[in-house]
Each structure stands twice: as C-alpha cells, then as structure tokens.
Amino acid sequence: MRKQIAAANWKMNLTLQQGEQLLDDIISQPHSLKENQQVVFAIPAPYLAMAQQKLRNKEQVFVAAQNCHSKKSGAYTGEISVDMLSSLGVHYVVLGHSERREYFNESNAFLAEKVNICLENNITPIFCCGEPLAVREAGTQNEYVALQLKESLYHLTADQLRKVVIAYEPIWAIGTGKTASSAQAQEMHAFIRGNIAAAYNAETANAISILYGGSVKAANAVELFSQPDVDGGLVGGASLVADEFVAIINALQ
Ligand code: PEP
C-alpha cells in the first residue's frame, strides 16, 4: 500500500521558540494515523535537532530538511550535507522546491545529483515538480513536468525510484491562495503516474507516493486527498497554524 503523507513546509518562518510551540500544539492534539500514513515536518535547518528530539518517540512522524548539498563534505560554506542530516537522524529532505529552483537557480541536473546523494545515504527525497502559470496557460504542463522527472529522476533504477516521494506543486498555486482544483490535481497526478509507468513499469508507478502542494488548507484537504492518485500534501502556509495542520493530517484518507 502506498504511503500517505501530510508534510509541513515551514520555509524560512518562525523562531526556535515559536517552532517548538507549534510542534507542541500539533502533537498534543488528537490525530489518528493509519499504518500507511505519516506526518513530516520540513523545518528550518537550525531547528532540526530540536525537532528530532521532540518527535523521537512519535511513531510515523518524521523530520525533513528543506534542502541539502550534492557533495558529501568540503568547502561549501553555509551548506548542509546528507551526513550532517543522517547524524541528526533526519529521514527526509525536500528537494527542488520551486523557490529553490527560482531563487537559487537549481537545475534539473543539479537536483539529480542531490537525489543521488540522498538515496546513497538512506535519506528519502521529497522531490518537487510543477509548472509556472505561463506553462499552464499554454497547456504544456504535462511536457514541462515530464522533463523535470526525466532529467532529475529517470536515471534511477526502479528500486531507487520507489524510495522517492514526489510532490506536484503547480507554481501558480504556491502561497497564492489559488489551489488547483481536485480535478486538475488528479489529472496531473495520474499523468505523473502514467509517465513513470511508461518509463519503468506499472508496479513501480503504483508504489510511489505523489503529494499535492499549493495552497492546501483544512477546507480543501479532504477533497484533494480523496482523489485516487493524490497521496497527501506538502503544505506551506497552513502548516504554520496548529489547528489547520491537524485538520490536514486528519484529512488523509
Ligand atoms: C509549499 O511551500 O510547498 C507550498 C505549497 O506552500 P503553500 O501551501 O503556502 O501554497
């Protein structure tokens, strides 16, 4: 059975104290996770140790980094290596978020290197893909996303690819309050799964969790997560509000 995931992306928000309070407020509220369901918190790097400590006894709840470097170690001032993440016990890392692609010029090829080093070190990449508004308006979103997958993921073996979580995040829906309709999300998720099936096989495609991201909130999560190819969400703004994020966790089907 595919994993269903409610993943919070705090981005560059909150102080340490605010982050601790938010985690406390979320984990103290009742939420029931089925066997195949997980909650992931992608939080700022300086708070990873705090979050690991706080969540260490919580089953099915994991900490993610928001980025890592493609090299093991060395003269890369300010960067974070997978060894550093592993030494903290971090399980997941978000890769290729549209903000990193746009503001830090992360290319598909560079992301392929990051995917490799994560997998080599048993860290699960949450690989983000998704088209800008102009591409959606031109109707070429499938080709755009297919190229992102091909150039960053399709060098992997099927066994490796199965360890990757994909997050489809249409850029026009991130932080804009403009959510893709559940039909638009399902259509793209089905396309991604079909694309993986064509490049690999149906078994591999069916094993991969594909999350939707882009203005997910408590009010739309049930509808989005009820789509057959939507396996949960990557949530920015709404993950900073405890009641909202708990409702999103509880919307996992
Ligand atoms: C995100 O940060 O990945 C995201 C989808 O943000 P938001 O939920 O605020 O649109």
175 close to ligand 1 (CB < 6 Angstrom): yes
What is the overall mean pLDDT for the chain? 96
Look at residue 116 and tell me if it is in a domain: yes
Residue 22: φ, ψ to 5°? -65, -45
Q: What is the pLDDT of residues 184-236, one digit of tens each?
A: 999 999 999 999 999 999 999 999 999 999 999 999 999 999 999 999 999 99
Q: How far is CA 55 from CA 19, 22, 39, in A?
A: 13, 12, 11
Look at residue 98 and tell me if it is in a domain: yes
Of 114, 84, 79, 76, nearest to 97 by C-alpha is: 114
CATH number at residue 70: 3.20.20.70
Over range 19-46, report the average pLDDT. 94
pLDDT at 253 over 80: no
Write the residue with the smallest CA distance to atom 6 of ligand 1.
236
Element (H, E) at 188: helix 182-199
Look at residue 251 and tell me if it is in a domain: no
User: Among the atoms of ligand 1, which is closest to the Cα of residue 9?
Assistant: 2
Q: Grade residue 1 by pLDDT with cuts at 50, 70 and 90.
A: confident
State how many domains the chain has.
1
Parent domain of 103: 63-235
Look at residue 151 and tell me if it is in a domain: yes
Centre of ligand 1 to C-alpha 74, Å, is 32
Look at residue 79 and tell me if it is in a domain: yes
Note whether 252 and 232 are within 8 A (CB): yes
- Residue 213 confidence (pLDDT): 97
Is residue 31 part of the annotated active site? The answer reads no
Look at residue 10 and tell me if it is in a domain: no
Write the residue with the smallest CA distance to atom 8 of ligand 1.
236
Centre of ligand 1 to C-alpha 185, Å, is 14
Over range 10-39, report the average pLDDT. 94
What is the C-alpha separation between 135 and 131, in angstroms, rounded? 6
170 close to ligand 1 (CB < 6 Angstrom): no
Q: Grade residue 178 by pLDDT with cuts at 50, 70 and 90.
A: confident
Q: Grade residue 243 by pLDDT with cuts at 50, 70 and 90.
A: very high
Look at residue 196 and tell me if it is in a domain: yes
Centre of ligand 1 to C-alpha 93, Å, is 15
- Residue 51 confidence (pLDDT): 98
Is residue 169 part of the annotated active site? The answer reads yes
96 Ramachandran zone, left/alpha/beta (phi>0; psi -120 to 50): left
216 close to ligand 1 (CB < 6 Angstrom): yes
Centre of ligand 1 to C-alpha 237, Å, is 6
Q: Grade residue 144 by pLDDT with cuts at 50, 70 and 90.
A: very high
Q: What is the pLDDT of residues 41-54, one digit of tens each?
A: 999 999 999 999 99
What is the C-alpha separation between 7 and 27, in angstroms, rounded? 14
Write the residue with the smallest CA distance to atom 2 of ligand 1.
236
